Chain A
Amino acid sequence: MTSLLVIIVLVLLSIALWQLTKIFDLTQVGSIKDDSQVANDGDNNVQGYLMFGFLAFIYIFTIYGLIKWGPLVLHTPASKHGSMVDSLMDITWVLIFIVQAITQALVHYFSFKYRGNKDNKALYLADNNKLEVIWSGIPAIVLTGLILYGLYAWTDIMFVDKDEDTIEIELYAQQFKWTARYSGTDNVLGKANVRLIEGVNTLGVDLSDPNAQDDIVVSELHIPKGKKVHFKIRSQDVLHSAYFPHFRAQMNCVPGMVTEFAFEPVYTSDEYRAMPFMVEKVKKINDLRQAKSKELVANGLPALDPYTFDYLLLCNKICGASHYNMQMKVVVDTPEDFKTWLSDKPTLVQEVKAANAPKPVEGAIGADSTKTNDTAVIAKIAMK
């Protein structure tokens, strides 16, 4: 079936090609037989009109795109700083569309209007310093404005004040999975290093660190609405990138260092789900999924689940073969719900104890042996 389609497409393409060449040939009928392969006035005429047509194509395609695909674009930002990002984005877009509309019009209209003719002679115009000053000056002024706004926003987003009231959460990336660690009641994350990874302690938390005693490790991220969340981000193997599209937040996860990003969610998951644009988007997605499910069922395959919206954390830096499936559900709760949710969770220390309980001897040896190794190394270095 596919090969038949391919053949049909190829045949149609070659017919189209043949016809197009024919049209261009016909435009040269009447002029003296000219096989110089250099454009003559007939060519200039046809190509000039096509240039004008191409301008129409660009305009129509742009308008069509904005109507048809505009609604696909990320909508209302779900974080406090997000609205600042989006307003800068909107201003930039307005500028871009104005410049694009004007310059494309000039390029293609001039190509049409001044299409060559053997009776014409071009204007001998070599330069004009005033014009050069104008079109380096105007972009310079506009860009200065954009840069200033951008830098103001950037500084505001990226630098977290030490005394700001935030919740500290660790995001931990590994091939192909996210884990989160809550800092607990002391709001300070315990130290960690991949060299301490062992058994249940998959994040390599230093269990001897007093700050680590109340740390909680989970695989679904909950964050409270209206409170700034300060993410400390780590990776255990390769580069990953913690990307929260709805929150306008992204930061790479780099093995060997801790990176940071902070944002304040402003809509709970339920609130965001109920927004009219999201209701419409989800409905559209579910219509598509239903249509697909019908096909699947007809082929004896299971139907797709209906979709409900959830915030997501995606991996946005190529990290291995299953990069395309590295995600974590993010839930924004009301502060009360968040507290309740978190209070249920056992701390890592409790989990480790529970895991070690059945066979405590083995676990203890494991832990000890790493320690002795370390001391041995230190002793060696000291000897030198």
Chain B
Amino acid sequence: MSAEGHDHEHSHEHEHHHKDTFITKYIFSIDHKMIAKQYLITGIIMGVIGVVMSMLFRMQLAWPEESFKIFNVLLGDKWAPNGVMANDIYLALVTIHGTIMVFFVLTAGLSGTFSNLLIPLQIGARDMASGFLNMISYWLFFLSSVIMVSSLFVESGPANAGWTIYPPLSALPQAISGSGAGMTLWLVSMALFIAASLMGSLNYIVTVINLRTKGMSMTRLPLTIWAFFVTAIIGVISFPVLLSAALLLIFDRSFGTSFFLSDIYIAGEVLHYQGGSPVLFEHLFWFLGHPEVYIIILPALGITSEIIATNSRKPIFGYRAMIMSILAIAFLSTIVWGHHMFVSGMNPFLGSVFTFTTLLIAIPSAVKAFNYITTLWKGNLQLNPAMLFSIGLVSTFITGGLTGIILGDSTLDINVHDTYFVVAHFHLVMGISALYGMFAGIYHWFPKMFGRMLNKNLGYVHFWVTAVCAYGVFFPMHFIGLAGLPRRYYTNTNFPLFDDLQNVNVLITTFALIGGAFQLVFLYNFFSSIFYGKKAVQNPWRSNTLEWTTPVEHIHGNWPGEIPEVHRWPYDYSNPAHDEDFVPQTVPMKEGEVVLHH
């Protein structure tokens, strides 16, 4: 690598680095570690908003006829007069919950945090290729978060056409209240978000390709980096398509074009739109929308791979197969979007094609699941909270993934499309799983981020209550979906047919409220440990990867001296040629040591 000469200059420069001011250190920082923390904390704040919203609409679903003071307190007199939730705001809560969780928490909060933290540290780089671009990326994301949250306070209400914002509903303020100023802010916020995400992704790609330290070949990269790298590529390919959809929708909304609208009669008048098609929007949306779920889940799987190997004290099983499956998933993810549209009115022939490509994804996913299981086999499992969340991810990823075989099959999708079955499926396979991945990452790399340890017993409580509640919420939900209950219904009381589902709804909400409340344990643990946690040692999990060779106290440039050279792959755990059960990547090969993994 030509990086070496450059490193000298860099570290030299570093020694004479002038003192950071508060603003350059904590606010407009260009240090990837600080940016990672900024992403994480913004993500957590957005996460709290998203989760509280879900608890509110779950209460509405369980007890549709009750009034709750808390609704009035949080939503105000306009949206919850006398504590009775209005139907517009119910839809707004559902919409913004989806948007926030998918984009702001599980894309930016997860990928933004760990790609920023780990890419330079694990490949042996001083920082991202462009620290400045990285800073701009975070601040655009922050701005987009602020706009999204501020849309909650618009008089006509936030966007409430569902997180998929299908026009014409999202295009016409006459059709639903949230499609006025709320929708405009939603679109502006997402446009900024996409710009932020693209800047981040380009930076990740360039950094991984160019700034690896000496000896760090692509096949010596930890799987976390592979996952972040491929995720960034998917993002660069698919996010611009959503941006184009958003821009065209802005044109339709504000400048009278007809990209997505045609032949509409609403509120007693015919609108001028002619020749557009909402199905086109669906194509554009899901061309991002489906890869998006992999943008969410791949980093979580990368994190899990790393944590399961480290805590099993065993090499990740099938390192190359794991890379191949990440690549296969990434490739397939761009040609399956149509499975969201089997009953959209598109040509049924396309349905056949998308069924075929969709079910193919099960193969690399199965490979990943079995490789995790085999990694556990005959390991020496250190059941740290991070490890529990990683095992939990494998469990929910399998449970949620399996029902994908039903939804991906066009024939079966006809009757479960847009029911609660879908809600149960995607929450388990990418919502809960990715959230587990994020928690796992936080428990594992908290010492690297803050130099202190999280309390493990609080971590255990957090995991077990969350694990029980996650299944408690989403397992029964499959049944009410199979009973034919559509999603996004404000209440089912107008359908006596669904009266017998009400008890299940109450149970689901109870689990949701308990599970939600117990996230306070995590929040307490997180924020108190930042200040009062036990001081971390340099390599608390006895891990092989490079980030644990940096000092506990953060320094700009990561390593005080030269960047270490890498001599082996990252998964030499319990290598019989060594006495210790881990061999960091920086340890040179012994004479005559055989490379076992190739």
Encode contact with A along B478-497: 1 for CB under 8 Å, 0 otherwise.
01101110101111101111
Contact B405 A96 (CB under 8 A): yes
Other-chain residue from B169, B317, B409 in contact with A320 (beta carbon distance below 8 A): B169
A252 at the interface (CB under 8 A from B): yes
B538 at the interface (CB under 8 A from A): no
Within the complex, the shortest CB–CB distance from B213 to chain A, in Å, comes to: 23
Contact B168 A147 (CB under 8 A): no
Contact flag A43-B383 (CB < 8 Å), given A122-B573, A154-B351: yes
* CA of A56 to CA of B68, assembled, Å: 36
Closest to B366 in A: A139
* A residues near B496, Cβ cutoff 8 Å: 285, 289, 304, 307
7 tightest Cβ-Cβ pairs between the two chains A and B:
A256-B262, A245-B484, A158-B348, A37-B453, A47-B383, A259-B345, A69-B479
* A residues near B313, Cβ cutoff 8 Å: 116, 121-122
Contact B318 A127 (CB under 8 A): yes
* CA of A72 to CA of B504, assembled, Å: 10
B501 at the interface (CB under 8 A from A): yes
Contact A312 B265 (CB under 8 A): no
* CA of A304 to CA of B412, assembled, Å: 35
* A residues near B177, Cβ cutoff 8 Å: 321
Contact flag A65-B266 (CB < 8 Å), given A36-B534, A143-B359: no
B175 at the interface (CB under 8 A from A): yes
* CA of A94 to CA of B455, assembled, Å: 42
- Binding-face segment, B41-49, B139-147, B372-380: B372-380
* B residues near A111, Cβ cutoff 8 Å: 376, 381, 383, 391
Contact A132 B388 (CB under 8 A): no
Encode contact with A along B244-281: 1 for CB under 8 Å, 0 otherwise.
00000000000000000111111000100011111100
Contact A324 B461 (CB under 8 A): no
* CA of A127 to CA of B376, assembled, Å: 13
* CA of A106 to CA of B38, assembled, Å: 38
Contact flag A116-B499 (CB < 8 Å), given A17-B461, A37-B454: no
Interface centre among A153, A193, A195, A238 (most CB of B within 10 A): A238
B384 at the interface (CB under 8 A from A): yes
Q: Which chain A residues in 312-355 approach chain B with CB under 8 Å?
A: 312, 314-325, 327
Q: Report how many residues on chain A are interfacial, defined by Cβ distance under 8 Å.
A: 125
B562 at the interface (CB under 8 A from A): no
* CA of A157 to CA of B415, assembled, Å: 12
Contact A289 B405 (CB under 8 A): no
Contact flag A175-B266 (CB < 8 Å), given A37-B454, A257-B277: yes
* A residues near B311, Cβ cutoff 8 Å: 116
Contact A13 B518 (CB under 8 A): yes
* B residues near A312, Cβ cutoff 8 Å: 495, 497
* CA of A317 to CA of B369, assembled, Å: 34
A279 at the interface (CB under 8 A from B): no
Encode contact with A along B448-467: 1 for CB under 8 Å, 0 otherwise.
00000111111011001001
* CA of A135 to CA of B370, assembled, Å: 7
Closest to B376 in A: A110
Encode contact with A along B66-96: 1 for CB under 8 Å, 0 otherwise.
1011000000000000000001100100000
A297 at the interface (CB under 8 A from B): no
B398 at the interface (CB under 8 A from A): yes
Other-chain residue from B382, B489, B540 in contact with A323 (beta carbon distance below 8 A): B489
* CA of A108 to CA of B344, assembled, Å: 40
Contact A37 B471 (CB under 8 A): no
* CA of A38 to CA of B386, assembled, Å: 10
* A residues near B360, Cβ cutoff 8 Å: 143
* CA of A141 to CA of B355, assembled, Å: 15
Q: Which chain A residues in 1-54 approach chain B with CB under 8 Å?
A: 2-3, 10, 13, 17, 20-21, 24-25, 35-39, 43-44, 47-48, 50-51, 54
B410 at the interface (CB under 8 A from A): yes
* A residues near B564, Cβ cutoff 8 Å: none
Other-chain residue from A74, A122, A236 in contact with B581 (beta carbon distance below 8 A): A122
B565 at the interface (CB under 8 A from A): no
Contact flag A110-B377 (CB < 8 Å), given A65-B475, A126-B596: yes
Contact B379 A318 (CB under 8 A): no
Contact A243 B412 (CB under 8 A): no
Contact A324 B492 (CB under 8 A): yes
Contact B409 A150 (CB under 8 A): yes
B521 at the interface (CB under 8 A from A): yes
Contact B319 A127 (CB under 8 A): yes
A249 at the interface (CB under 8 A from B): yes
B8 at the interface (CB under 8 A from A): no
Contact A288 B384 (CB under 8 A): no
Q: A69-B476, A125-B377, A238-B169 are in contact. List 14 more A-B contacts (CB 8 A).
A: A37-B540, A39-B384, A43-B383, A58-B471, A96-B402, A114-B380, A123-B574, A131-B318, A154-B348, A175-B175, A194-B263, A237-B175, A284-B500, A321-B91
B206 at the interface (CB under 8 A from A): no
Contact B355 A237 (CB under 8 A): no
Residues of A within 8 A of B (CB): 2-3, 10, 13, 17, 20-21, 24-25, 35-39, 43-44, 47-48, 50-51, 54, 57-58, 61-62, 65, 69-70, 72-74, 84-85, 88-89, 92, 95-96, 99-100, 103-104, 106-108, 110-111, 114-117, 120-128, 131-132, 135-136, 139-140, 143, 146-147, 150-151, 153-155, 157-159, 174-175, 193-195, 197, 204, 233, 236-239, 241, 243, 245-246, 248-252, 254-257, 259, 281, 284-285, 288-289, 304, 307, 309, 312, 314-325, 327
* B residues near A72, Cβ cutoff 8 Å: 479-480, 482-483, 500-501, 504
Contact A238 B175 (CB under 8 A): yes
Contact A61 B475 (CB under 8 A): yes
Other-chain residue from A92, A117, A126, A324 in contact with B380 (beta carbon distance below 8 A): A117
Contact A48 B383 (CB under 8 A): yes
B502 at the interface (CB under 8 A from A): yes
Other-chain residue from A143, A252, A288 in contact with B362 (beta carbon distance below 8 A): A143
Other-chain residue from A25, A39, A103, A174 in contact with B383 (beta carbon distance below 8 A): A39
Within the complex, the shortest CB–CB distance from A165 to chain B, in Å, comes to: 21
Contact A323 B490 (CB under 8 A): yes
* B residues near A158, Cβ cutoff 8 Å: 348, 351
Contact flag A100-B398 (CB < 8 Å), given A44-B383, A256-B277, A318-B162: yes
B176 at the interface (CB under 8 A from A): yes
B367 at the interface (CB under 8 A from A): yes
Interface centre among A70, A110, A289 (most CB of B within 10 A): A110
* CA of A92 to CA of B394, assembled, Å: 21
Encode contact with A along B560-588: 1 for CB under 8 Å, 0 otherwise.
00000000000101111000010000000
B559 at the interface (CB under 8 A from A): no
Contact B369 A103 (CB under 8 A): yes
Contact A85 B471 (CB under 8 A): no
* CA of A64 to CA of B380, assembled, Å: 34
Contact A252 B344 (CB under 8 A): yes
Contact flag A103-B479 (CB < 8 Å), given A143-B360, A318-B161: no
Within the complex, the shortest CB–CB distance from A178 to chain B, in Å, comes to: 14
Contact A254 B373 (CB under 8 A): no
Contact B410 A154 (CB under 8 A): yes
Contact B461 A20 (CB under 8 A): yes
Within the complex, the shortest CB–CB distance from B319 to chain A, in Å, comes to: 7
Contact B265 A237 (CB under 8 A): yes
Within the complex, the shortest CB–CB distance from A337 to chain B, in Å, comes to: 23
Contact B479 A65 (CB under 8 A): yes
Contact B489 A143 (CB under 8 A): no
Contact A114 B263 (CB under 8 A): no
* A residues near B472, Cβ cutoff 8 Å: 61
Contact B264 A127 (CB under 8 A): no
